[in-house]
């Protein structure tokens, strides 16, 4: 998992019906964008140091275009066309 300041971290809900939580990444403490991350949670504004688990994903913010894209881990190769 790699992130930059300004990206969003989204943690999936752990129980049926529980919403996802998201936070803005304020600081990146690991080498080359690796965790831990200092984050601010959007639901209550609380700041914390987070070591994300397998239930988390990064939504990268394209600072040049003002758009977000999601990184949910390794991508599968495209299936060959018939």
Q: What is the pLDDT of residues 38-59, one digit of tens each?
A: 999 999 999 999 999 999 999 9
- Cβ atoms of 48 and 29 within 8 Å: the answer is no
Q: What is the mean pLDDT of residues 1-17?
A: 91
Q: What is the mean pLDDT of residues 21-28?
A: 96
Nearest to 2 by CA among 74, 78, 77, 76: 74
């Amino acid at each position: 998992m790699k992130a930059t300041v300004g990206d969003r971290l989204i943690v999936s809900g752990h129980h049926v019906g529980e919403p996802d939580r998201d936070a803005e990444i304020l600081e990146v403490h690991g080498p080359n964008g690796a965790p831990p991350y200092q984050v601010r949670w959007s639901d209550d504004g609380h700041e914390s140091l987070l070591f994300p688990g397998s239930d988390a994903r990064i939504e990268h913010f394209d600072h040049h275009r003002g758009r977000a894209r999601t990184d949910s881990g390794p991508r599968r190769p495209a299936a060959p066309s018939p």
